[in-house]
Amino acid sequence: MLNLKQLIAALATTAAVALPLTAAASGEVNLYSARKEALIKPLLDRFTSETGITVNLVTGKADALLKRLKSEGRNTPADVLLTTDAGRLHRAKSAGVTRSFDSATLEKLVPASYRDPEGHWYGLSLRSRPILYVKGKVDPAELSSYEALADPKWKKRICIRSSSNIYNQSLVASLIASNGEAETETWAKGMAANLARTPKGGDRDQIKAAAAGQCDIAVANTYYLAGMLTSKDEAQRAAAGKMGLFWPNQDGRGTHVNISGAAITSASKNSANAVKLIEFLASDASQQWYAEKNGEYPVRDNIATSSVLESWGHFKADTLNLSQLGNLNPNAVMLMDRAGWK
């Protein structure tokens, strides 16, 4: 398996050699990406070198890009929307800014649970949201499931983001799908009572707070922990090093997972090239790039991951079709509000 430096060098070399010869050969495709440029540009350069299709990239915050697509309507130049969380992809679909499309390649490469049943979007990388605990303060034998975090023994011991965060909304939506709304609302009230502080900040802030002694447990996406463990910032590495990772619900449905994924816009003028780009982003080489560069899991089990991800071991993932996270998002938001989850 190539390491990250080797992957970057290979991508850069290929692009430098081939891009000038083929950039205009097969047209273009316009991409709105919620991923930062550094986390996607090397893949796009490689795509151009292999296909001759120029990728015009616009990056921005996920919610801002969706707002822009809705505002631009039929006049948008965007062909592809690349964004995070199935809930956001569902919002784009519901807003009418995406279209369904067929791809035998994507149906083969992307498991059914990680794509829209009507073909509006396909998952490209997998992120999990497990339980993180402070080593020496929590015995992992005490942990079991998301549901058990509502137990009073965790009172004032949990750090987690606000209910306005889409990652938490999707987690709650997955619980509604599994346990029903009434039981999940009872759980959410227990969670709200167990918070060590009023929710604030992002996932990295929850990890830092736990490491600083403000709480004993944090709920966060794995790629944030991976990013901190490999950070150039010594303080981030030190904070992350204090945390252990526990995969919840391994005796049942499995740990909650979500995706980053892509959709073709309803106003796309380059839909054939858009399909080619999304298929490329689902390829084996791209999947390995996500694991090495982004700290995310491939959507397929047969792709090698990074040493950090490997160190956490394999886990059983919830097989819920992620379209349900979007369908149940309004229920989750209202439920969390009733439960007092700020």
Please enumerate, by residue number, every residue annotated as part of a binding site for Fe cation: 223-224
Q: In a 3-state reduction of DSSP, which class is residue 263?
A: strand
Residue 80 has phi, psi (to 5 degrees) of: -130, 135
Estimate the crossing angle of helix 222-229 against helix 203-211, to 10 degrees: 60
Yes or no: say if 204 and 236 are a contact pair by the CB < 8 Å rule: yes
Asked whether the beta carbons of 50 and 17 are under 8 A apart, the reply is no
Binding residues, as ranges, are 223-224
Q: Assign 73 to helix, strand or coil.
A: helix
Check if the beta carbon of residue 23 is closer than 8 Å to that of residue 52.
yes
CB contact at 8 A, 254 and 235: no
Cα separation, 162 vs 234, whole angstroms: 27
- Tell me the β-bridge partners of 83: 261
The residue assigned the tokens 């067929």 is: 102
Sole residue written with tokens 């799908």: 177
Ranges of H-type helices in the chain: 4-22, 41-51, 62-72, 86-94, 104-109, 166-179, 181-194, 203-211, 222-229, 234-241, 271-281, 284-289, 307-311, 323-327, 329-338
Q: Which of 258, 259, 218, 256 is nearest to 240 (CA)?
A: 218
d(CA 203, CA 207): 7
Structure-token pair, residue 157: 């011991």
